[in-house]
Structure 1
Amino acid sequence: MTVQRIVANLHSDDPAALAAFYRDLLGLDLLMDHGFIATLGTGESAPVQLSVASQGGSGTELPQISVAVDALEPVLAKARALGAEIPYGPVSEPWGVRRFYLRDPTGTLINIVCHN
């Protein structure tokens, strides 16, 4: 058996609105929309990862999802323009990443991270 992918499922009473937030924030494409569920993606292949942690690092709350990007500042600017709460960062961490946390419109804590 080989794991092909791991999918994050975020609860929302309005999946279309939350999907629009992530499309605007991260430039994701709408891959599927059945009304009760909207799936976003890029069509790119990525490694399968699942992190298990006691905290988010640097004494922070554990975010539900981490999104790795190639450039942090453009996503930070979009997050601010969308009115997202930024409860942590941006900060360069001692383990070699630069990151910030945001809360999406449903309150889910998201770690946006760029590896140096």
Structure 2
Amino acid sequence: MLNCHCRDCQRASGAPFASGIVVRTADLKTSHAPSTYSVSGSSGQATIRSFCGSCGSPLFTRGESNPDFTSIRFPTLDDTSTFRPMLDIWTSRATQWTCFDPGIPQFPQSP
């Protein structure tokens, strides 16, 4: 579970960061194919963002630089009460007014 503060996650979420749960892509099963769009990630490779084609809700994020893992976007969880971020990434791009939890590791980029 993490918070990403990169500019692309800020734009995609409409917030100062995007939160998600990283899972193995092979373990992720969906009942319908989501709509997608692609942007250039910090690695120069594509980042694929998936969303609901009906309501536009963000669903998943997967980078071509590490396709074995997918981030399930926090807003898609039925029960958000157990979500506890374990790290903050791309803090070098965080807004100056973002408040960080000093109890979790922070990385200026992706570790």
TM over 0.5: no
Larger radius of gyration: 1
Greater length-normalized contact order (CA 8 Å, ≥ 6 residues apart)? 2
